Amino acid sequence: MRAVEWDVQDGSLVLIDQTRLPGELVYARCRSVDEVVDAVQRLVVRGAPALGAVGGFGVAVAMLQGAREGWAPGRLAGEVRRIRDARPTAVNLAWGADRVSPLIHRGVEAVLAEADAIMREDEAANRELSRLGADWILARTGRGRVRVLTHCNTGFLATTAWGTALGIVRELHARDALEIVYADETRPLLQGSRLTAWELQEDGIDYVVQVDGAAASTILRGLVDVAIIGADRIARNGDTANKIGSLGVALACADAGIPFVVAAPSSTVDLSTPSGDDIHIELRDGAEVTSLAGVATAPPGARGFNPAFDVTPSRLIDALVTECCVVEPDGVKHVDALVAERP
């Protein structure tokens, strides 16, 4: 089961519709640019590495639609830009579209082959960073079994397979080195309680769901050994954008003196963004805050403030983990290593 797949027979992008989980496992099909953009913006598909694959396959969707509808020369570039800009914070979406775009002149098969390579490389990266992250956490905490707090969803649903922060959780579980997972529910769209809990349950991993407001207290009460989160964009100085609420978790970890770990494939490291101040934070519809599953949770007319992400400064991060290495950020100089080939 994969969150993102290409249907060769049908020539369409097939996505697990994550808005419908955990109630039902259904798939959405995209055959047009409008459908791709809509799926990205409604979070049918979400999570930075999964969006990287959508960026790649989305270009193929646009090419096939253009051929079907006889688009005028020049239109394709604009349609690819719509996909690439459908959400601004996760660098992977634009990265995926940009990676396949130079192959457009060689035809859709070449673009699809490159998008497939993005899928394969992402899975391999996730598995490798999970090993590196688990090694680091067990060495740092000195514990045989760790209690982990995580925020949002970073599992196979958010990637092409396996997961990043949740990949480390899976790796710890496989080594019998995991005691329990505290999964923040992740308001407003509940990626933690709907998606992370679903993945952990499917894998038989012990977990509890807690409201986001409980995280600081759980950490300061000594119930957690390490917090592990994913990333939407890691800037050149190590500052990291991730789901809103991540910063609060980092502050609590710093106060409690437990490690705060960021895990991501190197495709999420954006060396062209100097610092967190330069990351565009998506502001979503306030109605997502003033309602839950379509039911109003605030008085009529209440306005919601809904930044989808926050930025954790690198000084609050104990380890940045990619498939290349683990860095303990003490400024700009080590971040290059996160994208370097391993010897």
Could you say which residues in the range 226-285 bind ligand MRU, by CB under 6 A? 230-232, 242-243
Q: Is 160 in the site for ligand MRU (CB under 6 A)?
A: no
Among the listed ranges 30-38, 141-149, 150-158, 200-208, the one in contact with ligand MRU (CB under 6 A) is 150-158
- Residue 204: exposure state from Cβ atoms within 10 A (0-12, 13-18, ≥19): exposed
Residue from the set 13, 36, 90, 129 that interacts with ligand MRU by CB under 6 A: 90
- Which CB, 196 or 290, lies closer to ligand MRU? 196
Task: Single out the catalytic residue among 122, 232, 239, 310.
Answer: 232
Query: DSSP string covering 97-129, please?
Result: HHHHGGGGGG-HHHHHHHHHHHHHHHHHHHHHH
CA angle 73, 78, 79 (to 5 degrees): 100
- Which CB, 159 or 273, lies closer to ligand MRU? 159
- Which CB, 65 or 150, lies closer to ligand MRU? 150
Q: Is 63 in the site for ligand MRU (CB under 6 A)?
A: no
Instruction: Report which of 231, 272, 245 is spatially closest to residue 49, judged by C-alpha positions.
Output: 231
Three-state secondary structure call for residue 198:
helix
Q: How many residues bind ligand MRU (CB under 6 A)?
A: 18
Residue number with the shortest CB distance to ligand MRU?
Answer: 230
Q: Is 308 in the site for ligand MRU (CB under 6 A)?
A: yes
For residue 62, CA distances in Å to 48, 194, 223, 314 come to 21, 31, 49, 38
Q: Is 61 in the site for ligand MRU (CB under 6 A)?
A: no
State both tokens at 56.
Answer: 């790649």
- Which CB, 48 or 317, lies closer to ligand MRU? 48
User: Annotated catalytic, 239?
Assistant: no
Backbone angles phi and psi of 41, in degrees to 5? -75, -30
Quote the DSSP letter at residue 243.
E
Among the listed ranges 46-54, 63-71, 93-101, 110-118, the one in contact with ligand MRU (CB under 6 A) is 46-54
Q: Is 159 in the site for ligand MRU (CB under 6 A)?
A: yes
Among the listed ranges 132-140, 156-164, 203-211, 216-224, the one in contact with ligand MRU (CB under 6 A) is 156-164
How far is the C-alpha of 314 from the C-alpha of 241, rounded, in Å?
10
How far is the C-alpha of 78 from the C-alpha of 167, rounded, in Å?
36
Positions touching ligand MRU (CB under 6 A) are: 43, 46-49, 90, 152, 154, 158-159, 164, 191, 230-232, 242-243, 308
Task: Supply the residues annotated as catalytic.
Answer: 232
